[in-house]
Each structure stands twice: as structure tokens, then as C-alpha cells.
Structure 1
Amino acid sequence: MVQLLPFTSFTARVLGKKIKLISQVTCPTAPLKISGTGNPPFLKTAPAPLNSQLLDVVAGLALCAMMVLHQENLSPFAWIIFEGGTTMMPLMAVNWLNDWPIGLKLNTELSKFCSQTFAVIISSWNYWLHGVLGVAFHGLPYIGLFGASTLSAFAVDVLQVATLHLHMCYIIATTVVYGLRLSTSTLWNLFQGKCYNKLRNRTDKWPYEMDHLVLGTIFFTLVTFLMPTVLIYYVFFFCIDNILHVSFSTFDRYC
């Protein structure tokens, strides 16, 4: 069963490292190593970690100035990328899955219900993001005052929020597949004349009546025909969620 992943704020982590470094420099508990002679003269008297932070701030200021000067052109371009990657492409993919992709004959009514449900979630999240991302895009240049690393971390945090609805769709699809798999396992035990014993944590034989077997046959047939349709949507959101997870984990490794 899938669990909700805790939200990791990369911006808070980067700022925490910067504050920790500043506290170590201002109140050192151990002798600081002086940087080598290869640094410029104005950096020779500063500790090596402080040099990298200074260069990080300079790069952040440069990016900040560039974004402020070209904000009118960058904001629409960034919004098109975010909206296309987090809303339009998933909606197109969901609609494509509803149209019997690659010749797969899915359950028409169930596929229509699944596609409409996921489309409502994606569209609703996109409507909410219009206001949030608008504030984030206007505040993004000023985050560069804290350095290029903080700017990158803030951009990744914004991407996490912008793709949270895709993880939500993955959780819904996984929950449905888990329920269908559990139902299939239970019905298969019914066909074998067995029943799961919770007290002994094992499967024992059980004398079922004829009406139980008939009802179990009907439910097993329904689950068998519904499972492929749900699996298609599950595989789609599973791939998206894993791609995002690998991307965020890669950034987390170098954060």
C-alpha cells in the first residue's frame, strides 16, 4: 500500500546549511583552514567554505539581475513550461488513454470515469496553481539574493508543489489497484474452497454454499474485466511518479 511522501523543503535545507556555516565562521570552535594561494587576493584571507558561499551569492545576484531585467519575457515562458508539463501533457495523456491506446480495448464506462476523475483533479490543481505560482514567479528573482543554490532549491520546491497533484493521482490509482488485487485474492480462495483465518494468520478450508460460489463467480468476473483498465492508468501515473521521485532524489543528493 502506498504512503504519502513527506514534503522536503530544499530551500529550508540550503538556508539551514548557510546559517550553520555563518555561525561556524563567526563563532568558530576549531581552527579554520585558510584557502590556498590559487584564489584571488580579496579571497585569500577568507575560509575556503566561505569563498564558495561568496561565489554562490555572486552567481545568485547575477541571475537575480537577469531575471529582473527580463521578467516580462521570462514569466510567460516559465508559466507555459509549468502549465504544459504539469497540466496540459497529463490531460492529453489521460484523454489518450481513454481512446483505447495501442489498440487496447478497455472498459469504456470505467475508462471514461477514470479519465474524468483524473482530469478534474489535474484541472482543479491547475486552477489553484495560477495564484500560487504567480506569487512564486514574482518572488523568484529576490530569492537569488541568498545565492544561486538557494534559487535552485526554491525552483525545485515550486516544482514539487506544482506536481503534487500527479502524486495524488498515483496514490488514488494505487489504492484502487490494491483493492482489486485484494478482492481477486479473496475470490480465488473462495473458488478453492478456502478462507483466510485471521486468528491463526493462515488459509484454511471452508465449506461454502452454492449461493456463495455463484456470487463469488459474478464478482470475480467483474474484477477480471475491470482490472486491465485500472492497470493502464496505474502504470501511467506510476511512471510519472517515479520519474519525479528520481529527479528530486538526484537533486537531494547534491543539495
Structure 2
Amino acid sequence: MPGKPLGCCCSEFLLCLFCRRCHFSSVGRVEGPAMVLKIFFPKCCNTADSGLLVGRWVPGQDSAVVLAVIHYPFIPGQVKKYLSQIRDQTQVDLTVLGSWSKPKDGQEGMDSFLKDLSTIFPHSRWLQLSRESGKRAFTCRVVQNNGTPPADQEGDEKVIFIHYDQRKVMLSQLHPIQEKSSEKGSSELRVVFQTVAQSQPLFFLDRYDEGPLKLTHWQSEGREASIIVELLKQASVPLCVVLTWLVSVWQWLCSFRCLHTWPVQFISSKLSTCVQSGYRTDHFQTVFSTKRATTHIEFMRKANIFVSFLLDVALGLLLISWLYRENRISQLANTLVPVADHVAKELQELLEWLMGAPAGLKMNRALDEVLGRFFLYHIHLWISYIRLMSPFIEMILWYVGLSACLGLTFALSVLSDIVALLTFHIYCFYVYGARLYCLKIYGLSSLWRLFRGKKWNVLRQRVDSCSYDLDQLFIGTLLFTILLFLLPTTALYYLVFTLLRLVVVMFQGLIHLSVDFINSFPLFAMGLRVCRPYRLAEGVKFRVLSEEPGAPLHLMMEINPLKFSSVLQGYRTPTYSCYPRDSWAALCKKLFVGELIYPWRQKSTKTD
């Protein structure tokens, strides 16, 4: 029944169709091995007037791709000259495949005239396609270059017409992408897509143009164009030159030797704002480059980066409009200092609680007092620093808010750096507690090996046997006992400050995830998938258009769009991530032994 779907390209039908292993009758029944001639015919030519079929024979396959129909009147010499010019432009072996006949009043002798042209355009086979009035399907007769039908041609049922939308096939990109693959190693379907895409200059000439030839193809009703788009293309070249120069000046300023000294380089690598600035500089250099994108991957990368930057700036401007209305900067500055004082007060109460008997635990009194007073001194220093900076906080926030004009990602990066500066005392507490705890853990592990007559071989990186004298065992026992009884007090401080540090890291991680999402999300590719799903093709599917007895089978080729998950995975812009480099097991091991963790370290996520 017409319109019945035949499934996707992995079904048994398509395996037989494109591998030419079986022969299909008019009702779609597999009858056995046979050579099947497949003709890819554009549906825009179904109603075209009589003329010549221009296209290409697929090399190594029993298939032909029809691209356009040349109408009478024409001169064969002009046709050959025009096709030679198109071949030089497209590097596609275009030729005259045969004739196309459609009954029309006043053109009764056109069929015989078109059949005689097979001697002027010699080829191994000549296709004679004809369509009768009132019928949906049309017939095909394959003639050898000597004027006789092929020896194995017993009827029209060995020919399968595959109708396709020429515009969608030309604009679509079949995945997986094979940019550098040769046609010999490509599938037949991929060669068809490449042939239509590379033949774009053939579609510039339509029947309304003043020229020696009149053609029918997907742009026969006039080429799609926009004067605004053309003006933007012309204006983008000098604009890109200016922007590229500005980016080069910025890179020259950043290349000064004083900015590459160890302290400056170390601090800039830890500041999220500096990292985001370098990241956006690379993006600007890619987008504003005057070099034309030659591959699909380069074009999509440029488009995704450009759209992501526009979205970033738009969100930043919205943030600026919200911040500078109703005096919200002053309100934020007046709130920030009391919040910092409240956090410092809570930390002071927490330390006083740890210096007593926390949760009924009996701690080492002397060590508890030393650690508590040491950390309380840091809190007093921090409160003094906040009091000193309080008159300038509103002015700092005022200028920091202007950074949002460069994009929301810059504002979020600045916010991450502000959080890191405001919680620097918590980071110091964590480092002190982690180093002290780690020292005791490694000391206990070394002394435990001493009791068992073992030692760590640094050269061979293994544990070897060793004999110790009585004095060494006595001193080791004494140190082991001291470290063991001091460990609960140190571990409690380390646990509390590690939890506080993890809270800050989680908040910074959410900010980094937001920045990473804006930078890497392929918004342009997702927009194509929603608005024009045929642009990103995962495969094709077929449905029956006509299956009349004694006539070839007519199929309609439709494009299967790429899945959203595949679009996100394939077109995601390479960027950094705030995830830790280690696995969760390695992270837990580091926390247990007291090694410092830096979850904000950059992680390269570049993919080929």
C-alpha cells in the first residue's frame, strides 16, 4: 500500500537494497539475487518538462543520481561546455544520464529527438524515463550505447526509483562525519549525499536566468537569497579584520615577560577570571578569523562559539540591568559585611566548642588549647581585614558588576574569585589541619612498619625487611604512642575544617559548572536540530510511494535526524571542567590520608 514505511537503513530491506543482494518485485517481495539499478530522482523534477537528465553514475555501484533536467531548446555543444565548467568547479563527474519525457501538447516528436541524443552523449548506459499524464509513477528503459537494451534486462521491475528532497539532502550532514574519506571507502548513501552537496554550483542557474540553458532543480522557482544576509557577509570581513587585530593586541600585552614570572603565573592560574579571559581569547581568535571554514566540524565549531558568546553577553547585560537598578549594588555591599562578620562569629563559636569537650569526647587538653588559640588568632586577623576593606566594598562591587558586559561567565568567574577570597581563612584552616593530620598518619604508618621489622625502600618503591636495635625500637615505641594519643584531637580539627572546605568547594563547583555549561553547550547545533532537523542526519528511512504492476518500485527517502544526546556529545565545544581529575575512590583515599585536594584545577576535555 502506498505510504507504507519500510523502516530505517539497518533493516533487511535496505541491506538488500544497497548491497544489491536481492531482487524486488512490484509488491516488494524478495525473489533472489539480481542486479538492481537504483535511480535517485529529485522530487522537484517529477513535474518537469521533457529534457535531458543531468547527474552522475555512482562509481563502483549500480546507481545513478539525477541532479537536474535540461529543457529544450538547447544545443548539445553548449550542454557539453556547461557541464565541463561545472565539473571544473565541483570536481564531480557530471554527465548526461539520459532523457526525460513528459507528454505535452505541441511536443509530439520530442521523445524521438531525445532518444537520438544518446549518440551525441555517449555513455555505457542511456536512461529513458517517461511519465504519462494522470499517473503517479513513471517507467524507465535502460539502453546500451549501441542502442540495444542490456542482455540481462528483462523488465522494468529491476529498476528502483528513490525520490529525495534535493534541498534537504544538499544541506544535511550525514553522521558519522567522514571529512577525509575517499569515495572508494564511502558507502553508496554517503556518496549520494556528497554528490548533491558538491553540485551546489549547478543549482545557481535556473530557468528564469538569461543563459543558454534552462534547467529544473530545487531552485527552479528562483534562488533563495536575502539582501540583508549578503550585506552582512560583505560587512563581516572588515569587522573580523578589526576584531582579529584587537585580539592580537591583547595577546601581545599578555605576552610580556613580567606576566610570566612564577608568582604572577601561579596566581593567574588559580583565578577563575584569568582562566575565563584566556579561554575567551582563544574563542575570539577562532571566531573572528578571516579564514573560511572548510569542513563541517570547523563551521559548526565557529557557529556554536559565536552563538554561545552572544547568549553569554545577553545574559550579562540582563544581569547589569538588574544590578544597577533600585540601588542593588549598595544593598549587596551593606549585606556582605554583616554576612562576613556572622560567618567569622560562627567559626569562633565552633572553635570554642572544639576547645571544650565536643560531643563528650575527651581530647588532649594541651594540644587542643594550642590549636584553638592558633585558629582564633587567624579569625581575628580576618575580621580586622574585613573591617579595613568595608569602606571600599561598594566601589569594588560597582566596578566588578561592569565585568558582566563581557558576558555572564565573566561575572560568575569574578563571583567565584570573590568567594575564594572571602573564605580564604577557611582554606588556611583546612591546609593547616590537613598537613598536621597527614604528618601524623605517615608517621604512624612508618612506626607501624618498624614494629614489624619492615621499612620503606625509597629506591625500589617497596617494603623490605630490616633489623632494628633496642634503642631504635624504644624510641619508635615512644613516638608511636605520642602520635597515636594525639591523633584524635588532630583528626577532629581536620574533619571539621575539611567539611567546611567542602561546602565552599561545592558552591564554587556549581559556579564553575554554570560557566562550563554556557561555554560548551552547542546552542547553534541544538537550534538546527529543533528548527531544521534534516541538517544533522543520522541515517535515512524509506516509504513506498507507488507499487504498480509492471512498473518500477518508487520509494521516498526521508532523513532521520540526529538524536539530541548525539548532538550534545558530538558538537560540544571543548572547554575546561571543574570536576576533579581523580576518581571518587582516589578522592576518598586522599581525604582519609590527609592529602590536599584541589577540585578547581583545570581539566582538559578536548576531543578530536
TM-score above 0.5: yes
The offset of 1:5, in angstroms, is: 10
Cross-structure match for 1:175: 435
Distance 1:6 1:154, change over 3 A: closer
Distance 1:131 1:152, change over 3 A: farther
Matched, 1:63 2:322: yes
Q: Which 10-residue stretch deviates more, 104-113 or 135-144? A: 135-144
Do the aligned partners of 1:60 and 1:146 also contact (CA within 8 Å) in 2?
no
The offset of 1:63, in angstroms, is: 2.9
Residue deviations 1:49-76, cap 9 Å, x none? 4642452243133133137x24544322
Distance 1:216 1:49, change over 3 A: closer
Residue of structure 2 aligned with 1:75, choices 306, 315, 333: 333
Residue of structure 1 aligned with 2:273, choices 11, 16, 25: 11
Question: d(CA) in 1 for partners of 2:275 and 2:481?
Answer: 51
| Correspondences of 1:125-136 after superposition (within 5 Å) | 125-132=382-389, 134-136=391-393
Cross-structure match for 1:235: 495
Do the aligned partners of 2:268 and 2:274 also contact (CA within 8 Å) in 1?
no
The offset of 1:109, in angstroms, is: 1.1
The offset of 1:98, in angstroms, is: 1.2
Distance 1:52 1:28, change over 3 A: farther
Matched, 1:202 2:478: no
SS at match of 1:66: coil
The offset of 1:206, in angstroms, is: 0.6
Question: d(CA) in 1 for partners of 2:399 and 2:514?
Answer: 23
Distance 1:139 1:196, change over 3 A: closer
Residue of structure 1 aligned with 2:413, choices 153, 156, 178: 153
Amino acid at match of 2:362: K
SS at match of 1:105: coil
RMSD: 3.2
Amino acid at match of 1:241: R
Amino acid at match of 1:202: V
Amino acid at match of 1:208: D
Number of residue equivalences: 237
Amino acid at match of 1:142: Y
Cross-structure match for 1:226: 486
Do the aligned partners of 1:64 and 1:145 also contact (CA within 8 Å) in 2?
no
Do the aligned partners of 2:355 and 2:372 also contact (CA within 8 Å) in 1?
yes
Residue of structure 1 aligned with 2:353, choices 90, 96, 108: 96
| Correspondences of 1:20-39 after superposition (within 5 Å) | 29-30=291-292
* Unaligned ranges ≥5, structure 2: 1-265, 294-298, 516-608
Do the aligned partners of 2:329 and 2:397 also contact (CA within 8 Å) in 1?
no
Question: d(CA) in 2 for partners of 1:96 and 1:6?
Answer: 38
The offset of 1:221, in angstroms, is: 1.8
Amino acid at match of 1:64: L
Question: d(CA) in 1 for partners of 2:314 and 2:482?
Answer: 63
Cross-structure match for 1:112: 369
Amino acid at match of 2:324: A
SS at match of 2:380: helix
Question: d(CA) in 2 for partners of 1:143 and 1:199?
Answer: 52
Residue deviations 1:87-141, cap 9 Å, x none? 2222221221111111111111111111111121232233234444653442213
Q: Which 10-residue stretch deviates more, 109-118 or 162-171? A: 162-171
Do the aligned partners of 2:455 and 2:466 also contact (CA within 8 Å) in 1?
yes
The offset of 1:177, in angstroms, is: 1.3
* Unaligned ranges ≥5, structure 1: 36-46
Structure showing greater relative contact order (alpha-carbon pairs closer than 8 Å, 6 or more residues apart): 1
Q: Which 10-residue stretch deviates more, 48-57 or 239-248? A: 48-57
Cross-structure match for 1:52: 311
Distance 1:137 1:24, change over 3 A: farther
Distance 1:93 1:108, change over 3 A: same
Distance 1:254 1:192, change over 3 A: same
- Structure number with the higher strand fraction is 2
- Structure number with the higher helix fraction is 1
The share of aligned pairs that are identical, in percent, is 19
| Correspondences of 1:183-198 after superposition (within 5 Å) | 183-198=443-458
The offset of 1:12, in angstroms, is: 3.2
Question: d(CA) in 1 for partners of 2:394 and 2:433?
Answer: 32
Question: d(CA) in 2 for partners of 1:25 and 1:212?
Answer: 68
Distance 1:15 1:207, change over 3 A: closer
TM-score by length of 2: 0.35
Distance 1:107 1:17, change over 3 A: same
TM-score by length of 1: 0.76
